[in-house]
Homo-oligomer: A and B are copies of this chain.
Amino acid sequence: MSEKKISSAVIKRLPRYFRYLRDLLDQGVERISSEELSRMMHATASQVRQDLNSFGGFGQQGYGYNVEHLKDEIAKILGLDTPHNMIMIGAGNLGRAIAGYDKFDNRSFHIKGIFDNNPDLVGDVVRGITIMPMSELKRFIDENDISIAGLTVPKDQAKDIAEELYGYGIRAFWNFAHVDLRLPDDAYVENVHLSDSLMQLSYRLQNNL
């Protein structure tokens, strides 16, 4: 699948293609032209064709794209055809809000466990998942085939916890802590820095951009 180097701009657009195609499918749309798809994506038709060609091209001249097929192919490219078991570290408001959100399951992301060292939180139940103490972490990861860890912990704890998780074999980190993690090259970190995005918004508002 990844024989060619795919640009990171294309990769960033893939989840959007996936979302649009899933919405179209929900609306009963069976096929779509690259022109229509490009209008939805706010891109040119030639960019859409080029994007999808970088994965082998799923369209047919004069027919366009079969929505379900294209959605399934993009799902495969994104690794959504296999389930991902996740844990959340940090059962504060944000961690519990994310663990409580049931829509990730539709996209094959399954939050299996929530961990926190605060004894006031351990034992609480979020969407059927009991909050566990950090001492259970290693055993739980081993027994539940966990591939992704979400970090909703204070920034001064995030580094140590990420390193501990790396030691237990976790390679994918969904990091909400306001710190840039430094992990070995075979670890993948996706940051969700909420304040950074607010600052971008403030910048654009101030500079009319």
Asked if A19 contacts B178 (CB within 8 A), the reply is yes
Asked if B148 contacts A2 (CB within 8 A), the reply is no
Size category, A interface = 35 or more
Q: A residues 178-194 with Cβ under 8 Å of B?
A: 178, 180, 186, 188, 190, 192-194
Asked if B198 contacts A79 (CB within 8 A), the reply is no
For residue A197, CB closer than 8 A to chain B, the reply is yes
Asked if B147 contacts A194 (CB within 8 A), the reply is no
- Stretch binding the partner chain, chosen from A45-53, A103-111, A161-169: A103-111
What are 20 inter-chain pairs, A to B, with CB distance below 8 A? A1-B206, A12-B200, A15-B193, A16-B180, A18-B199, A19-B178, A42-B180, A79-B203, A79-B206, A79-B207, A80-B199, A92-B97, A101-B194, A107-B198, A107-B199, A109-B195, A147-B205, A148-B198, A148-B201, A190-B201
A contact set with B: CB distance below 8 Å: 1-2, 11-12, 14-16, 18-19, 42, 77-80, 84, 92-94, 96-98, 100-101, 103-104, 107, 109, 147-148, 171-174, 178, 180, 186, 188, 190, 192-209
